[in-house]
Structure 1
Amino acid sequence: MSVKDCGNHHDGRKKLIRRLIMAIAGLIILLSLVVFLVWAILHPEKPGFILQDVTIYNFTTTTVPPYILTTVTQLTISSKNPNDRIGIYYQKLDVCVTYRAQQITVATLLPPSYQGHHDVAVWSPLVYGNAVPISPFLQQVLSQDLNVGSMLVNVKIGGRVKWKVGTWVSGRYRLDVNCPAYLRFGNPTGVYPVGPAVKLQLLQRCHVETALGS
């Protein structure tokens, strides 16, 4: 009667267990790397926008019906990428001005650009509204603001961005920027501006929102 040698069987079992442990450890490391990359890609820090200045060439409204508003304004807007390893592609951004929740200029398209780590981009778009119809209530409030010599408008930027990590580029994210601008005329007359142009230094930080979407 022979005795079976279980040594080889035992060693093979230990090797299988070691391989299984190594495979599980490798899988955990891989999953951790994927989770980190997903976090880095899908949760980047939002760019910071600043409305640096506003130059107003025309801002007038009619005093009899039908009420219309005509504006010609140049804006200086800067954006900084705060991320260390994530670049930002700006795609199809447009800017407009609103007053009391009504859009008073047409949307002006900003040139597409890429922003590297900690880079700063600056745009100086000209926005205008030619004979924009406004309600009698809005005309009354606007006339009061012009007579007082100050008014609050909102510079709004909307469009799409993509995040870039190494050679990988994310899908499109929606970008919405709101820059409140409190304009002080200094010399109220009811018609603004008095001279050929008035430039106001603001350095106003903007509220920025990003969301996954088209």
Structure 2
Amino acid sequence: MTVKDCSRNHHHHRKRLYCHPLATLLGFIVLALFLVLVIIYLILRPTKPRFILQDAAVSAFNLSAANLLTTSLQVTLSSRNPNERIGIYYDKLEVYASYHSQQITPRTVLPSSYQGHKDTTVWSLNLNGNSVPLAPYLAVALKQERLTGTVLIKMRVEGRIRWKVSTFISGKYHLHVNCPAYVNFGSKSNGLAMGPAINYQLIMNCHVDT
């Protein structure tokens, strides 16, 4: 082995000696950060927000002979942050109404907001859908429900939230809210159209997924 080869091997050996402690230190740092996050989660136990559909004013819910549905709703939604030490950022929440599996109103975007500890936020908004084509099987189901007088409409909220603990702000988490509203239209002769606006004090708890 030449002197040059020995020098190269010695340099490679020293490089390996330096890399091992650095990799070990980096592993300890990552593990420590992970343990800190786990401890914070176990101590704070972040709880998802609670949504309530407070009321809904239905001024139009009419199905044409061509299976085109016109909907006009005014709804009041509230959200409460149940956490004592965690704030919630709401990023670009979108609200719309659906009938069974189909969206029947365009999405209404709520302004971004921050919700402090134990705070409650209330939104009042209009959901309007004009001549939305309804799937044939849903049109049949809607006519049958209207004849019985009660129709299930769901208010859905979709968006993203972030958790805030002191100065720490988490990444974004998806938020899905489903608020069922059993609306009683009364007995109808044709199951297609409704009369004047009807206001319902619902106070319906919503299902929340994050």
TM range (shorter): 0.7 to 0.9
The one-letter amino acid of 2:133's match is P
Instruction: Summarize deviations over 1:157-212 as a string: whole Å, max 9, x none.
Output: 000001011111111010000111111113435355411x11111111011111xx
Distance 1:59 1:204 in 2: 20
Distance 1:115 1:69 in 2: 36
Distance 2:167 2:132 in 1: 45
For residues 59-98 of structure 1, the aligned pairs below 5 Å read 59-63=61-65, 65=66, 67-98=67-98
- Cα distance, 1:40 vs structure 2: 5.3
- Cα distance, 1:39 vs structure 2: 4.0
The one-letter amino acid of 1:163's match is W
Root mean square deviation of aligned Cα: 2.0
- Cα distance, 1:76 vs structure 2: 0.6
Distance 1:146 1:88 in 2: 40
- Cα distance, 1:53 vs structure 2: 0.7
Gaps of 5+ in 1: 1-28
Q: Say if 2:64 and 2:192, in contact at 8 Å, map to a contact too.
A: no
The one-letter amino acid of 1:151's match is V
Q: Does 1:181 align with 2:170?
A: no
Q: Does 1:37 align with 2:37?
A: no
For residues 128-207 of structure 1, the aligned pairs below 5 Å read 128-189=128-189, 190-195=191-196, 197-207=197-207
The one-letter amino acid of 1:129's match is G
Q: Say if 2:175 and 2:208, in contact at 8 Å, map to a contact too.
A: yes
For residues 5-16 of structure 1, the aligned pairs below 5 Å read none
Q: How many equivalent residue pairs?
A: 178
Distance 2:104 2:148 in 1: 20
Q: Say if 1:70 and 1:130, in contact at 8 Å, map to a contact too.
A: yes
Choose 84-93 or 136-145, whichever is displaced more.
136-145
Q: Say if 1:185 and 1:192, in contact at 8 Å, map to a contact too.
A: no
Using structure 1 for the length normalisation, give the TM-score: 0.77
Distance 2:98 2:54 in 1: 17
Counterpart pick for 1:54 among 56, 64, 76: 56
Q: Say if 1:96 and 1:108, in contact at 8 Å, map to a contact too.
A: yes
Distance 1:108 1:89 in 2: 18
Distance 2:34 2:58 in 1: 54
The one-letter amino acid of 2:150's match is S
The one-letter amino acid of 2:115's match is Q
Secondary structure of the equivalent of 1:49?
strand
- Cα distance, 1:74 vs structure 2: 0.9
- Cα distance, 1:51 vs structure 2: 0.6
Could you say which residue in structure 1 is the equivalent of 2:17?
none
Using structure 2 for the length normalisation, give the TM-score: 0.78
Instruction: Summarize deviations over 1:131-167 as a string: whole Å, max 9, x none.
Output: 1011222212111212221111211100000101111
Secondary structure of the equivalent of 1:118?
coil
Gaps of 5+ in 2: 1-31
Secondary structure of the equivalent of 1:144?
helix
Distance 1:36 1:84 in 2: 17
Distance 2:103 2:92 in 1: 19
